[in-house]
């Protein structure tokens, strides 16, 4: 069993994860965020549920993944730019607490980080690779975005549209 867990962690570290472990019955057109998913706060006392009913950007990542490391800069920039206008931002990471804390220190991360220690978030939303970005609207509707420049621009456009209402 430990060998299977190690293999799973290696696969999720950057790239695809085995889809047979994932609940893929979520239609991306009608995903509603479940704020009761058990996540562990790493650098904040806030609970995941406290982000309910807010415009929320989520960065789902692995601290050891080079794509996640490279993509974090844009996450922090977007969080900083739109925070005063009402955007809440968090990261949800796999790996150990110490690995996540090391990432936070190295990248001078200022958004709250949560640990998906039981992979509940990953399983619920069918995450097959990292990093993934999500925008959650106050009504719970959730849109996922890949880590491409085009998708990041689309997410920023969606944030702008919502905040200009």
pLDDT at site 147: 87
Q: Are strands 87-93 and 142-145 parallel, antiparallel or unpaired?
A: unpaired
Report the candidate in 18, 29, 43, 44 with the shortest Cα–Cα distance to residue 122.
18
**What's the pLDDT band for 165 if we cut at 50, 70, 90?**
confident
pLDDT at site 4: 43
Tokens representing residue 96 in the block:
């150990």
Q: How far apart are CA 129 and CA 62, in angstroms?
A: 10
Q: Give the up-direction half-sphere exposure of residue 40: CA atoms within 13 A in the CB hemisphere.
A: 14
Lowest mean pLDDT among 14-23, 27-36, 51-60, 118-127: 14-23
The domains of the chain are located at 2-17+29-163
Q: Give the up-direction half-sphere exposure of residue 67: CA atoms within 13 A in the CB hemisphere.
A: 17
- Identify the CATH class of 2-17+29-163: alpha beta
């Amino acid at each position: 069993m430990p060998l299977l867990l190690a293999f799973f962690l290696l696969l999720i570290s950057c790239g695809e994860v085995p889809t047979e472990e994932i609940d893929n019955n979520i239609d991306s057109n009608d995903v509603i965020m479940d704020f009761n998913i058990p996540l562990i706060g790493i650098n904040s006392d806030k609970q995941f549920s406290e982000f309910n009913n807010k415009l929320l950007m989520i960065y789902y990542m692995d601290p050891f993944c080079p794509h996640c490391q490279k993509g974090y800069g844009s996450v922090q920039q977007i969080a900083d730019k739109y925070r005063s206008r009402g955007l809440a931002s968090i990261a949800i990471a796999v790996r150990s607490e110490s690995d996540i804390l090391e990432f936070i220190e190295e990248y001078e991360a200022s958004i709250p980080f949560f640990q998906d220690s039981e992979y509940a978030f990953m399983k619920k939303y069918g995450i097959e690779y990292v990093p993934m970005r999500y925008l959650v609207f106050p009504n719970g509707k959730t849109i996922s975005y890949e880590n491409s420049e085009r998708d990041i621009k689309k997410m920023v456009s969606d944030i702008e549209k919502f905040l200009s209402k």
